[in-house]
Structure 1
Amino acid sequence: EDGALPLDCIPSQQEQPNLSTDSSPFDVFNSITPYAANPSTITSMIVDFSEMEALEQSCLPDCEFVEICDNNEDDDADGLTDCDDPDLADACCCYTPPALDLGPDQRVCDGNPVLLTVDSAFTRVQWSTGDTTQLLSLSRSGQYSVTVTDRCDNIQVDTLNVILGLSVSTTDTVQICQGDTVSIFGQARTEPGDYEMSFPLDSGCDSVHTIRLEVRPSPSTSEMRTICAGDSILIFNQFRSQSGSYVDTFTTQTGCDSTHTVQLTVLSPIVTTENRTICAGDSSLIFGNYQRIPGNYSESYTSSVGCDSTHQITLIVLNPLVTRDTLPIQCANTSIELFGQTVSESGVYEEIYTGSNGCDSTHQVVVRFAEPIIGRDTLITCEGENVDIFGQLHSTPGDYSATFPAANGCDSTHITTLQLETMTATFSALPNCPETNPGFIVLVRMSGNGGPYSVSWNGRVFPDNNLQPVPPGDHVAIITSAYGCQYEVPFTVRDPQDWWWTLTQAPSCNDPKGGKITIVDHLAGWSYSFDGENYSSEPTISNLETGTYPVTLRYENGCTLRDTLVIPGPKFPVIKLPADRTIAPGESTRIVPLTEEDDQLTYFWTPDRYLNCKDCYKVLARPDKDTEFELVVTNEEGCQASDKMWILVKKPEPYFVPNVFSPNRDGLNDYFTLFAGEEVREIVELSVFDRWGEQVFRTEHIPPNVEKKGWDGRFREQLMPQGAYAYFMRVELADGSIKMVKGSVNLLR
């Protein structure tokens, strides 16, 4: 039902191999549901009849009826009609043969055959070439046909024209050097080989162009070089001192590059190290020298490879071990016992022991004594009065003290200073107008430790301390201090000279108009004039040059007084150098001025090329020729003074006498004698004495410069001991004069 085959139409397994029909349409069916030995277990299945159209009689031999094609009836009563029923009596009734089509005419190019094919559904194929295969390869032009027959014996014929075309092939060769690049058909090429590209022709075939790329080799050579650190080697016309590969390129006969590589190896110096440890203050013998300063010491040797080998010794100086204790603060004016000593002052005290590292270990103790707790006050009293100080009466000036316990347990001292009141008074007299009052105005100024002060004169108190009018003569003023002390101070009024002004600044060399005066005790309404017309009341007069100035003084009441100001000139410094002196060649001499050093002066020496300092008070001079030195001194006012002196340099002696020789017969400095040029004619006498004054050698009339004529360090055929020996020579110069030469020479062994 529903298009399912009846069970009696399915052949059994025993009958299946006997079927002569094509079973391929049933392969799918069979693969889905294989034939079963017991068909009774199968109820129904769905089958696509298109897969069964090749089956001529699916029910044979068991079916009673078969289906007849194109009668629109279900002849076998299986529910299927005509071509829908696979049980057709004529299998080809409903068969649609495949179409034969070789396609359009084709063009064949040289070397490229044309492939013709027909559908595999045709059961028989016959080509005009006699071939019977489904696929035919043609490489010649002509007309070709094929006749095909299908399984229902339907015959079809098709024809095809094959046209022969010509292909063009060209070749070219390109050569490059190894490592170079060439563009072939638009692509960069570096490898050798054949590269092709096709181009279409009008004939429809391709033109193939082949380029053969040949790569010429670029030879490379290399070598190894070795040098020591610090050395260099010439590589490719350059000196090299660093390890590395150095490459240079040359051109071969083929025009390609030839590369030569030099691999340079710089051998590192062989360095050995050693650490040494010493205590501070000790020393260690390192490479023949005793060293006590920490640091690195090295010595170089030649290694087996011919390079330097360095041995480095690191010297470590152990710092002394220091421990420290701090004691509590001690009271002032006490003492403690420390390291067996009595200590009464603040400080750091130490004792030295031997530490665990074998070096000195220092133990320090910090001792601090408290500052005395002192309170102070001052009492001022009049002369002859008594003052109560700490419960006692005192009249003598001085310090009086008492001790009290302080909060820290130490003593606290209070000091009271008893001072007598002191007072100093100065008097300045200014005249009143002579025509109105012949008296003077006396200005009283007090200083001391009892101020403020009040002044009375002639029974009258003057609040402004200006007494007037006071006639010329001797007078007494009463001065009373703030403490009630009274002083009777005599003063005299007379015609003064410079009594109303004081010089505060004199003109200097830097500022010739720098003179300045200050009016003493300037009174209100009082003015002065240098020309008698223009008056000023400024207390300071500036811009004064050296000279004499007439001045008119005018008071508020119109009284005038004429005086003269004398402004002194600037003060010039004084400098004096020593007398000229003579020195030997190469000798230095100290120049100290004869005048005392003044911090207010600046010093400048010329020329300074032979001096150790050009702006010092005293200098060290070492001229190599006669030189005149000048010292210029300048004071704060810019005033200068100078002095000169000559230092003459003696001409060098025309001979040389060594101060040491070593008669060890090594050919160097084995003899002691005098050496000279043509200025010396001969050595008239040469005598040598030991430290006790005994003559150990003497010779006469020998030429200079002949060592073997001199002393060989022996006395009575015995080599003298090492030490200093005195010598005496009489030398005849070229001009016939005799010069005495003496000194000492050291004999070394």
Structure 2
Amino acid sequence: MKKNIRFTIFSLLLSSLVISQNNAIVIDGAFIVIDGGTTARNIVLVVDQNNTNGIVRTSSGGFIHSESQYNYIKWNVGNNTGSYVFPFGIRTNAADYIPFTFNKSTTNNTDVFLSTWATDPLNLPKPTATNVGPVTNMFGTADSVVLAIDRFWDIQTATLTTADITFSYRGVENTTTNPANNFLAQHWNGTSWDPQVGPGNPGVTTGIGTVGPVLGQNTFSPWVLTTCVESINNQNISICQGDSVLLGGNYQNTSGTYNDTIFGGNKFGCDSIITTTLTVNPVPTIAQTVAICQGDSVLLAGSYQVLAGTYYDTLQTSLSCDSIVATMLVTNPVPTTNQNLSICAGDSILLGGNYQNTNGTYNDTLQTILGCDSILITVLTINPVPITNQNFSICQGDSILLGGSYQSSAGTYNDTLQTVFGCDSILQNILIINPIQTINQSATICQGDSILLSGNYQTTAGNYNDTLQNINGCDSILITNLIVNPKPSSPIISGNDSICKGDSLFLTATGSGAGIINWYSDNQGNNIIVTSNSLTIGQLLGGTHVYYFSETLNGCSSNIDSIIVYVSEVTAQTSPSPTSGTSPLNVQFFNNSVNANSYFWDFGTGDTSTVFEPNHTYNIEGSYDVMLIATDGICYDTIIVTINVAGTSTLIIPTIFTPNGDNNNDIFTVKSENIIAIKGKIFNRWGQLLYEWNNINGGWNGRTDAEVEVPDGTYFFIIEAEGSDNKNYLEKGTLTLIR
């Protein structure tokens, strides 16, 4: 059971400070409640034992409930050092233990004056003035709902003291927007919040969270825990056009604003955001053109240049970027121009300062529009007046324009033309007249076929004309005499088209008598079996076989016809049941024959039957061969099976025998019929085994197994036997031996 201990403090009305003083406090499962403090009237629980055992919390738990800026614990720590634990908690829940640790590291004489309290999400109530000014705002956002834990600590020391401090808070007091961020401590300096101090600890929303130890603190006043806040740095960078810089995760070469996040980059593990404004300064390029005459030079790109091309000179702009002057140098040639001129024989032309009328090369010096010399070299050609011979040929009946008229007769005709050089040219033309040819030919087709003649496919006999063109380009008349040969009729087939398996096939084809008979294995006539009027195939297997045939006469073939040959395969099969036994033996003959429709049975007794599956009874002992003949009316097959019939077994045992050597009744034997096994044993009257045998022909000769003759008297036998009819015998009795 938890105990609640409430200290009630009495004071004078004029007093502004109520003090309850204790040398040491031991908390053993109880809650100590400090309550009632106000701005004007503080409540103080004083611990006057200066070592760290001034407040002892046992394993039974418990804590001090304060929850107001004006309900203080004052610990007179003196000049001692060590870890002083203030066991704060919330009395509504024994698990809400939120200790504050003040680990003093200096030996100065002081006391520690401490209170803590929870706030609402707007961080109210804020601390009022203590040893610094009152808190008027929160870190970052006013009344930082999104950044601060909902709890304050008011820490005061009497003298300047250095200590490591560790804070505790309830997870439900973490109402920030990023509750899992790192949290750090912040100190109010009287007018504003100092920078966050750490190390940072991850936030919790359940249970108890901690921040610290925050090392080496010597300024104590109101404290709060705030979430890790990003560091934002702004910078301006400029580059020259064509350069690049790594910003925003990529190399950038255009002006703009780029953000880079360094995750956990500051000393508390918070993100650092660097915002960079990038300016890209242009690299101006100035283009100019300079022209010189071939053989001159100009200073470009640091040297005197004589060759045409583009030369670059680099200057620097006021922004420290390059400025490129691109000079295109044009070297104007001192051109040498070659030209060819031609005149007709007898004409002349002004070249080289004179009129020329002979072949040769002549030079003239001129000036170009660029002010450079120009050499004009002229090659003069004197063109003759040519005479050209040519041949023409036309077809008989045509004409051609020669000698100024249309000519249709062979001969030579002259024309005067102008050459490509503008000179006269004499053209002598020889005309040849080519004749028109007539060709006769014959063509033969089979009845039902066609051939392309006279522009159409022809199927009837007659003469057909086609006009072609010969090698001279003249018409050629082709006269074709078409002959149509009749197609022979299909041959008539004779022979047996139904045979038995294993027989040979004989077929005969009768055609016109003048043609050739072909037998095929396929209906397209691609595979010839034989060329003959007859077809013979031996040892055919059962089933259906198709053979194809046609007759060829005068190059024409009849339609491919076919004949179907049926090969019967009859199989006689029977499975009698039973196949052996004793008489009278009734046997059921089951019929398993294939492809048969008629049956003949011979039972081996002189009896026969034509029933499909007959019964037959065998009354006499013996072995019988049964024959089945199965047929389909054309082919047949035979099978023979054996039926074994045995008689009834019998056993006769004598009761007296006389083994006196007269060869009459000297051996005691068992007489039997249809017995297949006998075992016998002989005993005396005292049950002693004298003799035994185990074969069908065995017996007793009146002696023991040791060949000792036994006396006359009565003896006992046990006979075991098995008949061929599966009958078993066990006979016991007496027999008399008399010599």
TM-score, normalised by the number of residues in structure 2? 0.22
Higher strand share: 2
